[in-house]
Amino acid sequence: MRNFLLPSGRRSVLAMAFAALVAGAAFPWTAFAQVAAARLTPEQQADIARVETYLSGVRTLQARFVQVASNGAYAEGTFYLSRPGKLRFQYDPPTPLLIVSDGTVVYSYDTALKQTTQIPVNLTPLWFLLRERIALSGDVTVTKYDRQAGVLRIALVQTKDPGAGSVELAFQSEPLALRQWTVTDAQGITTNIALAETRQDVRLDGKLFVFDENMPQGVQQHQ
């Protein structure tokens, strides 16, 4: 594994971009700690079950994304998802970054410096969204539920290591659709990714999810 070394002028943008996926990677799910689960009404529990069904039913997804971090870092690009396990963040210039999960490993590639970082996909805070069957219980715990103005927000932590950070998912409530997520790391730094122009259950080229640092941007999706 090569080190992910960045010039100071670009470090904050790329670090926050990668943090959107791997904020919890330095904190393996091994340390037991007390976690305060949200107290949910039967109606709210039904909403959680509806979210689980919706997310488990998403097989492929393509969307534009805007990424903003609490330190001011900003980036845009195209997001591809193929469940289980696979995703791709194709960042627009001038952000020289490509993130690809092949179902086993997440690769972060600096396209300017030709340097790669990789991490097991099951150590990323969004791993529970990539599983075959999504359950918002067990190894993740719902800590906050909020529904207002047509938006449903659910905050989650790792059950065994809540101090590692949190993920908040935001959905359009009717019809149910994922619109954004926010990752907060153990230091309290947040990275928000908002989706637009979302297309679900589209046919995607499998090569989108095969990392090749020699041709990192040379794949087109099927329409």
More confident position, 9 or 65: 65
Cβ-based burial of 186 (10 A; exposed 0-12, middle 13-18, buried ≥19): middle
Whether the predicted pLDDT of 72 surpasses 60: yes
Token output for 58: 């998403």
Q: Please give the biggest Cα pair distance in the chain.
A: 52
Rounded Cα gap, residues 135 and 173, in angstroms: 18
* Domain regions of the chain by residue span: 11-25+35-200
What mean pLDDT is predicted for residues 87-98?
93
Helix (H) or strand (E) holding 56: helix 42-57
pLDDT given for residue 188 in this prediction: 82
- In three-state secondary structure terms, 19 is helix
11-25+35-200 in CATH: which number?
2.50.20.10
Percent of the chain with pLDDT over 90: 54
Q: H/E element holding 69? A: strand 60-69
More confident residue, 23 or 171: 171
Asked if pLDDT for residue 60 goes beyond 50, the answer is yes
> Exposed, middle or buried: residue 70 (CB in 10 Å: 0-12, 13-18, 19+)?
middle
Mean pLDDT of 200-208: 94
Question: Residue 89: what are its φ and ψ, rounded to 5°?
Answer: -110, 110
Quick one: pLDDT at residue 17? 52
**Rounded distance between C-alpha atoms, residue 57 and residue 81, angstroms:** 12
Higher-confidence position of 124 and 117: 117
The candidate with the shortest Cα–Cα distance to 144, out of 95, 114, 184, is: 184
Q: Show the tokens assigned to 179.
A: 């619109």
Closest among 214, 217, 177, 213 to 95, alpha carbons compared: 217
- 35 vs 137, higher pLDDT: 137
Could you give the C-alpha distances from 57 to 105, 129, 168, 209, in angstroms and in order?
Answer: 23, 11, 20, 20
Top pLDDT among 200 and 22 is at 200
- Report the pLDDT value the prediction gives residue 50, as an integer from 0 to 100: 96
- Distance, CA of 203 to CA of 60 (rounded, Å): 7
The more confidently predicted of residues 7 and 202 is: 202
pTM for the complete prediction? 0.82
* Helix, coil or strand: residue 194: strand
Q: What is the pLDDT of residue 128?
A: 78
